[in-house]
Amino acid sequence: MDFSYSQQQLEIKRGIREWGKKHLTEEVIAAGYKNRGIAPEVAKAWVDDGWGMYGLPEEYGGKPVDHQTMAMIIEELNHCGGNIPMAPNLLIMFDMVEFGTPEQIQYAIDYYKENGYPPYCLAISEPEAGSANQWMTTTATKDADGKIHINGTKTWVTSGENSDGFIVVCKDEDPSAENKEMSMYLVPANAKGVTIEPLNKIGMQIMPFSKIIFDDVVVDESALLGIKGKGFLQLMKNFEWERCVLLAELLGEAQAAMDDACAWVNERQQFGKGIKTFQLVQEHIVEMQIALTNTRNFLYRTCWKMDNGIPVNNDAAMLKRYGAPQLTDVCSRALQLMGGLGFTDEPRVSRLMLDCRGFQIGGGTVEIMVHISGRGILKEYAKAAEDPDYLWTI
């Protein structure tokens, strides 16, 4: 087993760190949280300087890398000290290049290069259908002229108020829970019948979310993304990678909190001595480092399995179940170590903690992760009962 970075990975890691020092200062990031979105020129610089092209196909000007390297890029980006929107931007671009037609892909790539962010954001959840996607009721119905009529409400749409369009997941024709056929459609934000209602949340304001109402919104059949009726399967295909991306984001933020906590502890004096000599302070530091190390190992092992064609349905779910609470705890301990100062908005640790806390819900709750991985683990052990060597191969 080799736990070292390759030379290419080290160069990428150092390059992103230097890029962040120039473009993602604390002032720029704090302004992004205040203004409900990163400055467009920063997002565009990320793409212009080539970092935003990693993971995309070479034929579209991208720089293909494996999942491990991609996770490292996202971790290092968020290590700058916030839930930087360019990471989820890449998730949208991955969906477009995987499921889009050549025309849809080229449009998305051209738009991305010109603006620094993709032309769409993903609209999945509904007021009565968060984790239980089969209960969504937004429908796409086809009329006699071949036009598609979209009706329904989506909520908690990340970057909904800042995006020029949506990837809308709809039930085909029938909104009933029994109907498993769903499709994805590309819908412009300025289409007639679209209403955007910004929502407020306590963290991650740099990536605000919204409620989006679709009232008889009409699009052409060419707006279909991927295969008709297979929209949910397309979602599921990328959910595993999305969970890795989310944990890479959180890992970067929690590492930033750890950096700040250690800098504070190394300098802070109380009772006439450095608090770094206090055993309870050291206990916090040790527990934080254990959580960071375990989550990082879990993340990169899961990505390694993806790169080697090994199923990661259980791993990705367990990664989120374990990592999201643990990384929130890292930020919470960092805040505790800073005492009263930590509970103000002066240091960034309070912001980082709220960001990490949000991802125990977003992208699939940690409780749903138990449901997903619990079933899967039992199936694996049932196979291992028949073949004792089975578990060792995965």
Question: Do β-strands 165-172 and 121-123 pair in parallel, antiparallel, or remain unpaired?
Answer: parallel
Buried b vs exposed e over 67-101: b needs ≥16 C-beta within 10 Å?
Answer: bbbbbbbbbbbbbbbbbbbbbbbbbbbbbbbebbe
Q: What is the pTM of this model?
A: 0.94
Q: What whole-number percentage of the chain has pLDDT above 90?
A: 87
* Cβ atoms within 10 Å, residue 127: 13
List of residues 6+ apart from 374 with CB closer than 8 A: none
379/386 Cα distance (integer angstroms): 11
pLDDT tens digits along 219-266:
999 999 999 999 988 888 788 999 999 999 999 999 999 999 999 999
Q: What is the pLDDT of residues 144-175, one digit of tens each?
A: 999 999 999 999 999 999 999 999 999 999 99
Distances (CA, A) of 60 to 93, 96, 102, 107, 113: 11, 12, 10, 11, 10
Return the beta strands (E) in 241-282 as ranges. Answer: 269-270, 273-274
Rounded to 5°, the CA angle 200-29-347 comes to: 90
The HSE-up count of residue 247 (CA atoms within 13 Å, CB side) is: 36
CA 386 to chain centre: 37
